[in-house]
Structure 1
Amino acid sequence: MARRGGDVEAFIAFLGGLLAAGATALAMAGVGLAIRPTPALREAALVTLGAVWLTVTVTVYGRLRARTR
């Protein structure tokens, strides 16, 4: 019986996105210790984290779904 739905792939992709965003956040925190971040830089960092999470999640999900077909 073939498995359908893609729930496992979606969960793995979600966790992959969180892992990538977390690693990016740690790198940004390290840079933030070296320089004095401005409010504009903080906002850009939040936008970047959101973009990283979304991009990695969609990419991983697409690759996992393509592999199962």
Structure 2
Amino acid sequence: MARKGGDLEAFVAFLGGLLAAGLAGLAMAGVGLAVRPTPALRSAALVTLGAVWLTATTTVYWRLRARTR
């Protein structure tokens, strides 16, 4: 019986996006210890984390959906 939907792929993609954003956040925190972050730099870091999460989630989801078809 073929599985329909894509809920599992979406959940795995969400977790993959969180993992990628978490790793990017840890790297940014390490850089923040070495360099004194300004408010503009903090805002740019938040935007970057959001973009990393969205890009990673979308990419993982598309690859998983293509694999199941």
- Please give the TM-score of this superposition, normalised by the length of structure 2: 0.99
Deviation at 1:8, TM superposition (A): 0.3
CA distance in 2, matches of 1:29, 1:67: 35
Aligned counterpart, 1:41: 41
Unaligned runs of 5+ in 2: none
> 1:1-69 to 2 correspondence within 5 Å?
1-69=1-69
Percent identical: 84
Amino acid at match of 2:20: A
Unaligned runs of 5+ in 1: none
**What is the RMSD computed on CA atoms of the aligned residues?**
0.2
The list of structure 1 runs, each at least 4 consecutive aligned residues, that deviate by more than 2 angstroms after superposition, is none
CA distance in 1, matches of 2:35, 2:41: 11
